Amino acid sequence: MRSFYEVTDKMRELLLADGDIHVVSFGDPNEVDWDKQTVFPLAHVVPGSATLRGSTTVLSFDIALVDKVNQTREEDRDQHKPFQGSDNTQDILNTQLAVAIRLREEFRRGDTWDLGYDVEVDWSAAPLMDSYTNLLAGWVISMDVIVPNNLMCL
């Protein structure tokens, strides 16, 4: 079954083509050195379950879309826009959510459709803020890709 390779390769390709992601990694999130990673914004793909549905398989993934938070030295009360805080967290959340939306739309309408892939209509996104020692922010999106079962060997 080549679908898993094709789906993960397509994810990597689409994420790297997005101007708001610089590095794409894959695997166990505990194996990533989040504190010392120097190239951000980063997308980290974590495979989840596979649900066998007769003629299709549903591949589940979680993808962390994160960037490093840059803090200013100003106190919130001294800022012109105190609601936005003393860092760029809101900018990161906005930008990385847009990355998730573009990825979803590429899977729904891009050339993956021609490969016979589909995605579940609803994806969930959970915010990730002030994580790790170097302060990262972004989203963890959960997505399901539906692929046709083919019995072609590797």
Residue 54: phi, psi to the nearest 5?
A: 70, -105
Whether residue 27 lies inside any domain: the answer is yes
Q: Please give the C-alpha separations between residue 56 and each of 62, 96, 116, 147, 151, in angstroms, as whole numbers.
A: 20, 30, 10, 5, 11
Residue 69 sits in a domain whose CATH number is 3.30.2000.30
Report how far residue 134's alpha carbon sits from residue 43's, in angstroms, rounded to the nearest whole number: 16
Q: Are 40 and 22 in contact (CB under 8 A)?
A: yes
* Burial annotation 31-46 (CB, 10 A radius, 16+ → b, else e): ebebeebeebbbbbbb
Name the residue range of residue 41's domain.
3-148
Nearest to 66 by CA among 112, 143, 153, 127: 127
Residue 27, phi-psi category: left (phi > 0), alpha (psi -120 to 50), beta (remainder): left
Whether residue 153 lies inside any domain: the answer is no
pLDDT at res. 67: 93
Count of domains forming the chain: 1
Q: What DSSP designation does 87 have?
A: B
Identify the three-state secondary structure at position 150: coil
End-to-end CA, the chain:
6
Please report, in tens digits, the pLDDT of each residue of the chain (154 residues total): 678 999 999 999 999 999 999 999 999 988 877 766 668 999 999 999 999 988 899 999 999 999 998 876 555 555 555 555 667 889 999 999 999 999 998 888 877 777 778 888 788 999 988 666 668 899 999 999 999 887 544 4
The most distant pair of C-alpha atoms in the chain lies apart, rounded to whole Å, by 63
Whether residue 154 lies inside any domain: the answer is no
Q: Give me the amino acid identity at 48.
A: G
